[in-house]
Amino acid sequence: EEEAAAAEKKRAEEEAASAEAARRKAEYEAVEAARKKAEEEEAAAADRKRAEDEAVEAKRMAEEEAAAAEAARKKAEDEAAEATRKKAEAEEAAAAEKKRAEE
């Protein structure tokens, strides 16, 4: 009976050791999974930040380009108005000169 009790005790100790090893393995895997999840979340946050920064920069550049295009349009409009004014002055001077020549 002592042998049976000793064998039972040894089996119980082996089961306890096996259960402890399984518990440690599960704990390690849980820690690793949490670490991996945190790394993935951090990478995703960095990707989102990078995308937001790129969108802000693209918007800023588009606004600058639109402002430059508007300035160029305004300048061209002003130059056309000045050219029209000079043409009208030249035509008026030519008509006055012609009238003087006829008189």
Nearest CA to 49 out of 59, 41, 60 is that of 41
- The residue behind tokens 């993935």 is 40
Amino acid at 74: K
How does pLDDT run across 61-100, given as a tens digit for each residue?
999 999 999 999 999 999 999 999 999 999 999 999 999 9
How does pLDDT run across 6-37, given as a tens digit for each residue?
999 999 999 999 999 999 999 999 999 999 99
For the whole prediction, is pTM greater than 0.85?
no
- Please give the full DSSP string across 39-60, using - where no structure is assigned: HHHHHHHHHHHHHHHHHHHHHH
Listed by start position, the domains of the chain span 1-73
